[in-house]
Amino acid sequence: MRLPTSHRNLAIAALAAMVLVLPQAAAQAQQETPSATISANQGQDYAATELGNPWDMDSTLDIAYEYTRDNGQISNLRFENGKLKGTTGGDARVTLLVPSHNNVNPVRPEGGYRPIDTSKYRYLTIKMNVSATSYANVYWQIGTNAEFNGWVETSGQGFKTFNAGTSVITFDLGASSKWTGSVQGLYFDPHASAGVAFEIDYIRLSTQAPSAPDNNIPVFNITAPSYISGPDYAATELGNPWDMNDSADVSFFDNITNVSFNNGVLSGTNTSGDPHMHLHLAGPINPSKYKYLTYRFSVSGNIDTVNGSVARFIWWSDIPEHSTTSTDIVVYEGYHTVSFDLRALKTESTNGSNIAWSQSNPVVFRFDPHEFSSARPFGIDYIMLTGDSTANASYDIRYTLSDADGSTPQVQWYYVASPVGSNQPNAITCKTTTVAAAGDNKVYLPLAIGKVPAPVTPSGNTCTWNTSGVAAGTYYIYGVANDGTDSVGRYSATPVLVSH
């Protein structure tokens, strides 16, 4: 089996070759499951619950794809017919989560985005077909500079045997004393020798060993309240959202050429290693109202964080010398949608000002799409700066829900004061309207919502929550989708502010 790579080399490689198309929420504290909710017959699944995307191997979003492709010793790596396929080129490794560097703002598939709570998740179940008997194992890290730990059976054997053909194998990671704390890096080694073809159907990391692992886990995401459901700054204050439909969305460019606005996408190419732009503002931004950032964009070429695959946001309230600069945000390949709570965004400590978002009144909001010195074209679909959703007599909870085996999962809804800590869930009875699932591109609601629509609005089904009898306060939504075999519980990324 593979010997652990040196910690320093892996930390560098993880950033040099690491990374959506649901909006990604910012990294959060470990969420708790309310006690009075639907119980899962097979335990809770990490990827479905924490990421909103089961590791069912239907797309590159199910693994740390770029890192696996560039470092996994696997040829012809591909996703095909709901399976991850490839041929081992040596001691092959599939990286599910790659550790986040301490100084970046983590996004998927970085483990710092949603660290694994080892006290909760412990059983790793894998369905795999191999062309020859395989001796596979699992490794993990708590961070970029941490040691590798590998699963070891109680008998001392350090691998599981997958016989030629298809097998379903479960690793009890909790049997190892090293499976403790929060884990950021998770790796599966399917075979130690070259020339073995493999197909991974799914990987589950669950709270209990599943009795029917072949069941398709419901894919469940709450789209309102969310980072895109509240009032949008540009749409509300300017009457012109930053949807990149025209040049009025940007007030200043520097070190960028070949700028164009076509079909709702801003395209450009850098002329140096510091391309940046200022978004059009209507005066100082109110940080207590507008605090959630969402953007969708792409940088051409393969990921290379050493030479420039990082983005950042910068703002200041008076002069540039008093600016606040975010730490790196790794830019992965292709168009991805990323969201952050600006109040929790990591910022550089070198600037003498470094005023937190909540303490600032920005008069400039700057976006640096990448830091390559060589020419790299980029495209920006939209940028949103939003606030909390509000309700008086009612609120429309929006959500997307699907199940690959064709079943119709049932959903129960609750509201809680916080997604962390011990909470008493309050049940919601709602009128549900089912609508066709929307794609990742723009979906507009009627203009009656406000002066103009935001670049993208919540999609999916609607649960109308009667809030007329709910005490004024701040509440998070918790939903549980159950298909009779698996259940998935999800919190809303942002709260609803109820007032009367």
Residue 39: per-residue pLDDT: 54
One domain for residues 267 and 397:
no
Q: How many CB atoms lie within 10 A of CB 9?
A: 10
Percent of the chain scored above 90 by pLDDT? 77
Q: Give the phi and the psi of residue 448 in degrees, each rounded to 5.
A: -65, -15
Q: Are both 70 and 112 inside the same structural domain?
A: yes
Residues pairing with 364 in the sheet? 316
pLDDT at 446: 35
Higher-confidence position of 236 and 155: 236
pLDDT, average across residues 59-64: 97
Residues 430 and 349 in one domain: no
| Confidence at residue 26, expressed as pLDDT on a 0 to 100 scale | 55
Residue 336, CA atoms < 13 Å, CB-side half-sphere: 21
Same domain membership, residue 206 and residue 66 = yes
pLDDT, greater one: 150 or 282: 282
Amino acid letter for position 400: T
First to last CA, the chain: 63
| 127 close to 214: Cβ distance less than 8 angstroms | yes
pLDDT in tens, 290-333: 999 999 999 999 999 999 999 999 999 988 888 999 999 999 99
Give the total number of structural domains in the chain: 3
What pLDDT does 431 receive? 80
- Collect all residues with Cβ–Cβ distance below 8 Å to 286 and sequence separation of at least 6: 361
* pLDDT at residue 35 greater than cutoff 60: no
Based on the number of CB atoms within 10 Å of its own CB, is 410 exposed (0-12), middle (13-18) or buried (19 or more)? middle
Task: Please report which confidence band the pLDDT of residue 153 belongs to, taking 50, 70 and 90 as the band edges.
Answer: low
Residue 440 burial (10 A CB sphere; 0-12, 13-18, 19+): middle
Which residues have a Cβ under 8 Å from the Cβ of 33 and sit 6 or more positions away?
A: 44, 489
> How many Å apart are CA 299 and CA 456, to the nearest integer?
21
Cα angle vertex 254, ends 306, 386, to 5°? 85
Which has the minimum average pLDDT: 105-109, 141-145, 216-220, 332-336?
Answer: 141-145
Q: Are residues 245 and 183 in the same domain?
A: no
Say if residue 443 is in the same domain as residue 485.
yes
Give the model confidence (pLDDT) of 455-487 as tens digits.
899 999 999 999 999 999 999 999 999 999 999
Q: Point out the domain boundary residue: 214, 245, 273.
A: 214
> What is the SS3 assignment for 446?
coil
CATH number of the domain that residue 482 is part of: 2.60.40
In this predicted structure, the answer to whether residue 70 has a pLDDT above a threshold of 80 is yes
Q: Are 190 and 240 in the same domain?
A: no
**Residue 68 φ/ψ, nearest 5 degrees:** -65, -45
CATH code of residue 349: 2.60.120.260
376 shares a domain with 326: yes
Nearest to 103 by CA among 298, 243, 305: 305
| Strands 134-141, 185-189: pairing kind | antiparallel
> What phi, psi does 80 have (nearest 5°)?
-150, 120
Contact of 48 with 208, CB cutoff 8 Å = no
pLDDT level of residue 155 (50, 70, 90 thresholds) = low
Burial 453-476 (b: 16+ CB within 10 A, else e): bbbbbbbbbbbebebeebeeeebb
- Is the pLDDT assigned to residue 58 strictly greater than 50? yes
Residue 309 vs residues 332, 333, 348: alpha-carbon distances, Å: 7, 9, 17
Pairing mode, strands 496-498 and 389-391? parallel
- Token pair for residue 206? 């669950």
Decide if 219 is inside a domain. no
Total-model pTM:
0.89
Question: Between 103 and 291, where is the model more confident?
Answer: 291
Comparing 36-50, 97-111, 254-268, 279-293, the range with the smallest average pLDDT is 36-50
Tokens 């009667």 correspond to what residue?
466
Question: What CATH number is associated with residue 62?
Answer: 2.60.120.430
In this predicted structure, the answer to whether residue 439 has a pLDDT above a threshold of 50 is: no
Domain span at 123: 7-22+29-214
**Mean pLDDT, to the nearest integer, of 215-232?**
98
Any idea what DSSP says for residue 273?
Answer: S
pLDDT above 50: residue 8:
no
Q: Give me the chain's average pLDDT, please.
A: 89
Q: Around Cβ 132, how many Cβ atoms within 10 Å?
A: 15
Report pLDDT for 33. 61
Where among 333, 351, 386 does a domain terminate?
Answer: 386
Residue 39 lies in a domain: yes
Domain boundary among 332, 358, 386: 386
Q: What is the DSSP string of 52-68?
A: SS---SSSGGGTTHHHH
Is 279 in the same domain as 405? Answer: no
Model pLDDT, residue 453: 79
